[in-house]
Structure 1
Amino acid sequence: MPREFVLETHGLTKTFRGFTAVDQVDLQITEGHIHALIGPNGAGKTTVFNLLTKFLPPTRGEILYRGKPITHMKANQIARLGLVRSFQISAVFAHMTVLENVRVALQRKLGTSFHFWKSERSLAALDERARELLAQVGLERDADSLTVELPYGRKRALELATTLALEPTVMLLDEPTQGMGAEDVDRVVALIREAAKGRTVLMVEHNLSVVSRLCDRITVLARGAVLAEGDYASVSADPRVREAYMGSEATEEEEA
């Protein structure tokens, strides 16, 4: 039996004053897979993410979640379905503790994130789950640290914990390793692999080593349209892909 497509697009298109940023994109994201969107700068990757999570309305096309149309839903409705997005820039509260950041995310899931008048005692009931999530991403020892004091890689790990607190069925990760050194990249790759158990992940990622290690399937965009799709071996061997995006990097890897 083929696995179900948890997220699909048909003819997804976005134009801005005559410029076509996303052009007739068809995606099929298999449940339980880690799926990457890659491509050169300006290929339309982040715009596709913005369309999927309703930060932008599509000009044309259809978005389906588990076979049901969600094209005209609002962003908060999409999130309630379980499509949860992390951003290119770490989106955590710098002057709250690490534990408090995760607790706020847990409150959002309960619909009480703006109940600032709640007593510390009532919020403490969320601490056990918050600490479990911090342990899952290796931040249990940092629970009481101010987030602003964390190095960049650990802030991204915290963002992953806050994403997991929302109990996503589909995690959309936008450049999760951007700006990281090799050690932090390895750490985040391991965290994503662990977090993906029992979930579906769609990620925009520029680091081809990360894509090759993590992803079951890859869609390559160029000039807003799908150029190629398949596993890493088939995509990286496609001469159109090498010319449009991988060319210089692939050549460097082969010569190394």
Structure 2
Amino acid sequence: MSEYILEARNLTKCFKGFTAVDDLSLEVEKGTIHALIGPNGAGKTTCFNLLTKFLSPTSGEIYFRGKDITRATAAQIANMGIVRSFQISAIFPHMTVLENVRVGLQKSVGSTFHFWKSEASLHHLNDRAMEILSEVGLDVFSETLAVHLPYGRKRALEFAATLAMDPVLMLLDEPTQGMGHEDVDRVTALIRKVASGRTVLMVEHNMSVVEGLCDRITVLQRGAVLAEGTYAEVSTNQQVMQAYMGVETALDA
């Protein structure tokens, strides 16, 4: 039997009569990269917000490692190892790259965020911070102010801050949005690298990225699961192609 690290069972979210997520069930297998895709308005963001506890479901249940987390808070699930890129994507622009990662490390070692602590008192975190920066290719930028990084490098810093939180499950919301081809290729390679030994659930519009990265794909339409499978399976599914404006090549666009 497959080991599912995250499960949603009959998840529903209604807003004043509008059903944004409709009886959705989802299983994310441990150690995989799983994508949520769908046309605009399909319910992807609402689903992500439910899974990461930014919203409470109208009905349904959410399980992490077999434990019911339906009533848990965002802070509680972060402490369990569920980290969403959106939660810590607001990097501190006037802190150095190294200092940004150290903020996440303070949390991972059981400390609160002490911005007022002296530089010397945080030196014990520097070695681990540099290891993380090296993992995402930012070690040479360690003393650079985050505000001066190019856009693609800022996204890499967000990944570094995510890794500093020691995630078991990483949820990435549109990680390549707004990027040119060079940055998309760099971030795609970075996701593949940091996913080693972890589980990733991502929302992504770029189907080339999804095809190249993801082990399994769940397609949403009107808040419900339309199809699920490998890229080869969903990209040739007639219902999926119709959902994407009825164009047979839409998933490759």
Whether these two folds match at TM > 0.5 is yes
Aligned to 1:21: 20
Maintained 8 Å contact 1:88/1:174: no
Q: What's the CA shift string for 1:145-201, capped at 9, x where partnerless? A: 110111110000000000001110100000000000001001001110010111000
Q: 1:251 to 1:27 in 2, by over 3 A?
A: closer
Q: Superposition pairs for residues 3-152 of structure 1, below 5 Å?
A: 3-87=2-86, 90-152=89-151
Distance 1:249-1:185 versus aligned 2 partners, 3 A rule: farther
Cα distance in 1 for residues equivalent to 2:57 and 2:239:
27
SS of 2:226's partner is strand
Decide whether aligned partners of structure 1 residues 208 and 253 sit closer, same or farther in structure 2, where only a CA change above 3 A counts.
closer
Deviation at 1:251, TM superposition (A): 5.2
> Which residue matches 2:224?
225
Letter in 1 for 2:45: T
Deviation at 1:67, TM superposition (A): 1.4
Shift of 1:110: 2.4
Which whole-Å CA distance do the structure 2 matches of 1:132 and 1:157 have between them? Answer: 14
1:209 aligns with 2:196: no
Q: TM-score, normalised by structure 1?
A: 0.95
Identity %: 67
Deviation at 1:68, TM superposition (A): 1.5
Q: Which residue identity lines up with residue 174 of structure 1 in the other structure?
A: D
The CA deviation at 1:88 is 9.4
CA offset at residue 117 of structure 1? 3.6
Q: Secondary structure of the residue that 2:98 maps to in structure 1?
A: helix
Give 1:127's aligned amino acid. Answer: N
**How far apart, in 2, do the equivalents of 1:252 and 1:136 lie?**
31
Which stretch shifts more, 174-183 or 240-249? 240-249
Aligned to 2:179: 180
Q: Is the 8 A contact 2:81 2:168 kept in 1?
A: yes
Q: Distance in 1 between matches of 2:213 and 2:159?
A: 16
Segment drifting more, 151-160 vs 242-251: 242-251
The Cα shift of 1:109 comes to 1.5
Q: How many aligned residue pairs are there?
A: 253
Whole-angstrom distance in 2 between the partners of 1:157 and 1:212: 21
Stretch moving more, 102-111 or 200-209: 102-111
For 1:19, give the aligned amino acid.
F
C-alpha offsets along residues 61-116 of structure 1, whole Å, 9 cap, x if unaligned?
00011111110011111001110001299421111111100000101222323323
CA distance in 2, matches of 1:180, 1:3: 35
State the 1:119 CA deviation.
Answer: 2.3
Contact 2:207-2:251 within 8 A present in 1 as well: no
* 1:236–1:104 CA distance, 2 compared to 1 (3 A): same
Counterpart of 2:19 in structure 1: which amino acid? T
Classify 1:218/1:252 alpha carbon distance in 2 versus 1 (closer, same or farther; 3 Å). Answer: closer
Q: CA RMSD in A?
A: 1.7
Q: Secondary structure at the match of 1:11?
A: strand
Asked whether the equivalents of residues 244 and 251 of structure 2 are also in contact (C-alpha less than 8 Å), the reply is: no
Distance verdict in 2 for CA 1:252–1:35, change over 3 Å? closer
Equivalent-residue separation in structure 2 for 1:246 and 1:167 (angstroms): 40
**Aligned residue identity for 1:21:** A
